[in-house]
Amino acid sequence: MTDDARSRIDSTVKASDVVLFMKGTPLFPQCGFSSRAVAILEHLGVEYASVDVLQDQGIRQGIKEYSDWPTIPQLYVKGEFVGGSDIMMEMYESGELSQLLQDQGVTPAQ
Amino acid sequence: MPMAAEEIETMIKAAIPDAEIEITDLAGDGDHYAARVVSESFRGLPRVRQHQRVYAALEGRMGGVLHALQLTTAIPN
């Protein structure tokens, strides 16, 4: 990963409480897994920033190394890596994800 | 190049010998799988670390030749 990609990822995950690295955009996800991740965040009603890795090869490759995680999407909460779409789904279904967001002081957008 | 279910199972088993592995070919195309991996060695590990161990077992194929592997990990009851 380039230093440039690392520092951009670093500032991105710290700039917003909830950040989703995905393929495409929340309105037009380009992959089923990214689409599922968006659906979960929409259900939880939290505000989140999204990064379309298809628009940026540096981030697309860099984020895999940064998180030590081979696939997209990837969810960050308060600068910490939470997981990909399978973990998001499991945590959503068990209530852990809303608990985590609540514990981190991330409340649903009114 | 897709990967055979047996190959996925063999690689996971090599890295996590006590694992019970169930693999489902979701689309019948040899490219979209679901895997459930149950291992005592996951005990005490956060879920992200459990998944990372399975990905490590696949030695870089995940996200490359293997596009879709819906992964569930668990500890034996």
Domains identified in chain B and CATH numbers? 5-74 (3.30.300.90)
Å from A61 to nearest chain B CA?
11
Q: Which residues contact A53 (CB under 8 A, 6 or more apart)?
A: A21, A22, A23, A59, A60, A63, A72
Tell me the C-alpha distance between A88 and A23, whole Å: 16
Residue B31, pLDDT score: 79
Tell me the C-alpha distance between A61 and A71, whole Å: 10
Give per-residue pLDDT as tens, A15-60. 999 999 999 999 999 999 999 999 999 999 999 999 999 999 999 9
On the CB side of A12, CA atoms within 13 Å amount to 23
Q: What is the count of residue pairs from A and B with beta carbons less than 8 Å apart?
A: 29
Q: pTM to 2 decimals?
A: 0.89
Give per-residue pLDDT as tens, B20-73. 999 999 888 777 899 999 999 999 999 999 999 999 999 988 888 887 889 999
Which of A8, A6, A108 has its CA nearest to residue A51?
A8
- B47–A81 CB contact, under 8 Å: no
Closest partner CB to A83 (pick from B48, B70, B72): B48
ipTM confidence score: 0.78
Which of A76, A65, A91 has its CA nearest to residue A21?
A76
CATH tag for A3-101 (out of 3.40.30.10, 2.40.170.20, 2.10.10.100, 3.60.15.10): 3.40.30.10
| Chain B residues inside the 8 Å CB shell of A70 | 55, 60, 62-64
